Structure 1
Amino acid sequence: MTSTFHGIELGKRGLSAQQTALSTTGHNISNANTIGYTRQRAEMQATPSISNNGVQLGTGVNVNSLVRLREEYLDTQFRGENKKLGYYEAKSDTLSKIEDILNEPSDDGLGHVLDEFWKGWQELSKDPDSSAARAVVRQNGVAVVETFKYISDSLEQIKDDLKNIITTKEKEVNSLAKQISDLNGQISRLVANDYQPNDLYDQRDVLIDQLSKLVDVKVTPILNGNDKDTGMVNVSVGGGLLVSGSNPANPLKIVIDDVVDVENGITIGGEPISLESGELLGRIESYGIKDGGSKSTIPSMMDKINELARTFAEEVNKVHLSGLNLENIHGELDESGNPLKSVEFFTKIGTDFTAKDLNVNPDIMVNLNLISAATKENNGSPDQSSTGNGKNALDMAKIKSGIGDLYRNIIGHLGIDSQEAQRMLNNTEGIVNQVENRRQSISGVSLDEEMANMIKFQQAYNAAARMVTAMDQCLDKVINGMGRVGL
């Protein structure tokens, strides 16, 4: 036989369950704009029935759990694409900065400065005795030198900036790992006491999402000896265990020299790891990796610019030394009484020559007559020529095409690499947005839906309250109204 107060107990359980559902709905509404918040739902379950004269009589309802509406496979997919997004953002950013430095095509780029240099020689060939034309050639040479130095210095500045960024990202990874480890500890203590720390789960997922853009992550739930979920997770990066439950996180360390040894110079807890993707790897490759070739963005571009400067200077010097300057033509002698030799236009090019080492010959900076505009004529003496001879200046202008082709090749490859990085960035960004939209369709808070739920739970709460009132009236009649007849 059921209790006299069975009906009131039914109503009480209904009130409690609907109130919990209303509170959960209110929590969802309050966090509609909270980054990383996962919508929650009160899961109701009928309480065990009781037997009454052979009939199974219901005993009401209770809230079995507060469920986070989240799909793990979407989290995995999001983090897998997020690491690619971080990688291509880093590569595209570096390539864009290089494009800004080279600034092609424009009136300020190296291509224009080289064109002006060749034009100066062409004008000198028309009037080889003109001091003004010679001064223009010298000044154009200085402009080429300064442009090469600017490019080289700017590339080195980008590399220095990348070194600082890599150090900052390393600290960020370690900071996120520590926060995840701390949350693991808080979660495990609550789960052990049968609490559901949903909001802490959300905080940890936000941190893991942030980490997934920096490095490739693998998240593994930790089970206890009875295969029961402890609420904690392990986080692996590049094959190394970064976070192990609530233990202190294993520190990520990057050894940054002139380049980064990606096989041995990146460690977690002292053990080498191999990064697969992420913004950190993109920055490291941009800075330069050991035996990286074209993957080492800045070192590769610096090598190309250095080779261009070396080839340019060698070709110009070759033609310049084959000609005669005004001092040669006038028969000027050196301190030993020997005929003056032609000089190099640019300073001597050594084996370790870089674009920063390029300089106009100091002797030419002092004496414009040392610019070789003439060629040797077969008029008796191999070192004689007429003052109006400008054939060497014309020959100088002819090497323009070879140098121009080399520079255009550099710019062309840079444009292709930058375009490819931007294309991959756009594609990956689109995929990340699609996955995030699907994730939000499940986990995000819809205010319209929550308002509808609020009305539904409110009506159920009112009905449960009405039932309590009805049962109270029935009991009042039984207890207070069943006296002696007529009294």
Structure 2
Amino acid sequence: MASTFFGLTIAYSGLQAANTSLTITGHNVSNINTKGYTKQQAGTQAADALRTHTTYGAIGSGVVVTEISQIRDSYYDVKYRNNMANYGQYSVKESYMGQIEDYLDEFTLNGYSQEYKNFFSAVNQLTITPGDTSAKNQLINNAKSLADYFNTLTTNLRNVQADANNEIKDAVQQINSYAKNIAALNRQINQIEANYGNANDLRDKRNAMIDELSEIVNLETSEEDMGNNVSNFSVRINGQTLVSSYSYNTLETVARTDKKNYSDAEGLYDVQWNSGQKFDMYSTSLSGHLKGLIDIRDGNNGEHENIETDDDGNNVTDSDGNLVLTTAPAADKTVSYKGVPYYQAQLNEFAKIFSDAVNKIMKSGYTSDGSSKGISLFVTQPNTTVMSAGNITVNPELLKNADLLAIKKEQNDGESDAKIMEELNKLQSEKIFAGGTGSYFLESIVSDMSIDSQKAVNLYKNYTDLKTSIHNQRLSIMGVDTDEEAMDMIKYQQAYNLNSKMMSVMNQIYDKLINQTGI
């Protein structure tokens, strides 16, 4: 049978439950602007009833607070993190492709297309005044300007590649830092939950870290119950284990000893696990910030650019003895994206074809006075042996003496003859660049760049909009709402007041029973 004073115990349990709920409401309100915070609520249930050995059998014993839980839906967590991986990838591409587009912007800059036109304008002038030394100087200077512009483009693209490479190293360090911190949080959470209940605030901190990590690299999480309120929480990135309970793996960056593409910047990093296990940088399933950086830095459209060799394995050279670059489908895993290596290879191809065609014509002719054979207009820079956009320059002999420029076809032709210049002028309309003219080839580079850049912008915008939408959906469940908290505050305040009133009533009853009965 229940004690005479049992009603006081029941009221006290209600008072405690209301007080706990009010405390949790205050905690929610104080964290209303805290990033990553998850709304909490008290779980309550009726306390076990007591047998009274009377006709009604049992009587309620009040309320107990069973747990303090988080209001969170794992479905939206997965949805949010998957989108963040895509958002991170295209935020990088939108930024870097914008830089490359600025360098190749032929619509607002007097870029290589204009330099190409200026070159042929000077050629055309020499067909009119072939003996004019100033006109020869103009052609040589325009050729130098064209070469310098391609040199500058190569430098700019290489700087973009180096920046992306440095960011890859930073991304790897961030991944390692998150791995270490998540493993430490796993230990703290298990220590608390094994003894004292749910470690909700620590779980919020861990979830916030995972949200941030998901922008760097695509991930999956799992939590396995090990019993005694202890769990094994693990994180996998691109299908490989990063964190498993209290242990974690780390990545490292290793500078390449050999370039994948001839024009790559020096010291580009490969990413691998410290344990020696392979990390597939070029996996089609990889996404996130790291994927975007790798695509920009290594994107060669599936083809490596290297020195061309013949069937016997000997290096191929052009008519001036320079090594020749060529592109070929990559034998190993590579990046199909059009990043820095792709656009650099396109510029190199133009420089190689154009210089070879011009030099062939120039060397077939003679100077205006017929005193010497023509020499190459374009050569490689000192201490270089490969004709490329980064190495091309004008023959220093011509810079010293413009009259060494070949003008006429035959040695005995008069000084007014300009057949070499006429042949050179025809190059402007000849389809020697992958089936198109030089202007068309240059314009196609700009077209590819514009399409790729716009695609990156559009996808970045799409994933940004999705990020906002999914974030709002997630907040509708886990976020703290001012109206809801205000209603809960009033509800728990009333419950607290009513239980206080019940205790007051019971106190009056006990006073009557103890102090006034029998008087």
CA distance in structure 2 between the aligned counterparts of 1:397 and 1:475, rounded to whole angstroms: 115
Contact 2:365–2:373 under 8 Å retained in 1: no
How far residue 279 of structure 1 moved from its aligned partner, in angstroms, is 1.2
The structural deviation recorded for 1:307 is 0.9
Q: Does the CA-based 8 Å contact 2:373-2:406 persist in structure 1?
A: no
Secondary structure in 2 aligned to 1:34?
A: coil
**In the TM superposition, what whole-angstrom CA distance separates every residue of 1:363-405 from its partner, at most 9, and x where no partner exists?**
110111122344x3xxxxx422233334433432332241111
Matched, 1:30 2:58: no
Q: Which residue of 2 aligns with 1:337?
A: none
Report the equivalent of 1:271.
277
Deviation at 1:268, TM superposition (A): 5.7
Percentage of identical aligned residues: 31
Q: Structure 1 residue 221: deviation in Å?
A: 0.5
Give the match's secondary structure for 1:223. Answer: strand
- Among candidates 138, 160, 163, match of residue 161 of structure 1: 163
| 2:428 aligned residue | 400
Which has a greater percent of helix? 1
Query: What does residue 2 of structure 1 align with?
Result: 2
Q: Is 1:345–2:380 an aligned residue pair? A: no
Amino acid at match of 1:25: T
For the residues of structure 1 that align with 2:219 and 2:387, how far apart are their CA atoms?
43
Change (3 A) 1:427 1:232: same
Preserved contact between residue 38 and residue 204 of structure 2 (Cα < 8 Å): yes
1:82-481 matches, cutoff 5 A:
82-224=84-226, 226=227, 230-247=230-247, 249-257=248-256, 258-259=259-260, 266-267=272-273, 269-274=275-280, 275=283, 276-288=286-298, 291-292=333-334, 294-295=336-337, 297-328=339-370, 332=371, 340-347=372-379, 352-374=386-408, 376=409, 382-401=410-429, 402-481=437-516
More divergent stretch after superposition (170-179 vs 186-195): 186-195
Q: How many residue pairs were aligned?
A: 463
SS of aligned partner of 2:394: coil
1:287–1:298 CA contact under 8 A, matched in 2: yes
1:335 counterpart residue number? none
Distance in 2 (alpha carbons) for counterparts of 1:102 and 1:477: 94
In 1, Cα distance between equivalents of 2:73 and 2:492: 25
Q: Confirm or deny: 8 A CA contact 1:293 1:300 kept in the other structure.
A: no
Tell me the C-alpha RMSD between the 2 structures: 2.2
Is there any run of 5+ residues in structure 1 with no aligned partner, and where?
333-339, 377-381
CA distance in 2, matches of 1:17, 1:267: 50
- The answer (yes or no) to whether the contact 1:188–1:231 under 8 Å persists in 2 is yes
Shift of 1:113: 1.5
Partner SS state of residue 236, structure 2: strand
Question: In structure 2, how many angstroms separate the alpha carbons of the residues matched to 1:85 and 1:79?
Answer: 9
Moved more, 365-374 or 470-479: 365-374
Q: 38-47 vs 293-302, which deviates more?
A: 293-302
| 8 A Cα contact 1:250 1:269, kept in partner | yes
Q: Distance in 2 between matches of 1:185 and 1:344?
A: 71
- Tell me the TM-score normalised to structure 1 length: 0.89
Shift of 1:38: 0.4
SS of the aligned residue for 1:236 comes to strand
Shift of 1:265: 5.2
Task: Name the stretch that deviates more: 304-313 or 197-206.
Answer: 304-313
In the alignment, structure 2 segments of 5+ residues that lack a partner are 262-267, 300-331, 430-436
> What SS class does the counterpart of residue 92 from structure 1 fall into?
helix
Q: Deviations over 1:198-243 (max 9, x none)?
A: 000000001111111111211111321x5x6524411112232111
Following the alignment from structure 2 to structure 1, what is the Cα–Cα distance between the partners of residues 140 and 471?
Answer: 60
Structure 2 counterpart of 1:109, which letter?
Answer: G
Give the alignment's TM-score, normalised by structure 2: 0.84
Query: For the residues of structure 2 that align with 1:162 and 1:393, how far apart are their CA atoms?
Result: 44
SS in 1 for 2:64: strand
Deviates more, 1:448-457 or 1:229-238: 229-238
Map Cα deviations across residues 67-91 of structure 1 (whole Å, 9 max, x no partner): 1010011111111121122122223
198-207 vs 442-451, greater mean Cα deviation:
442-451
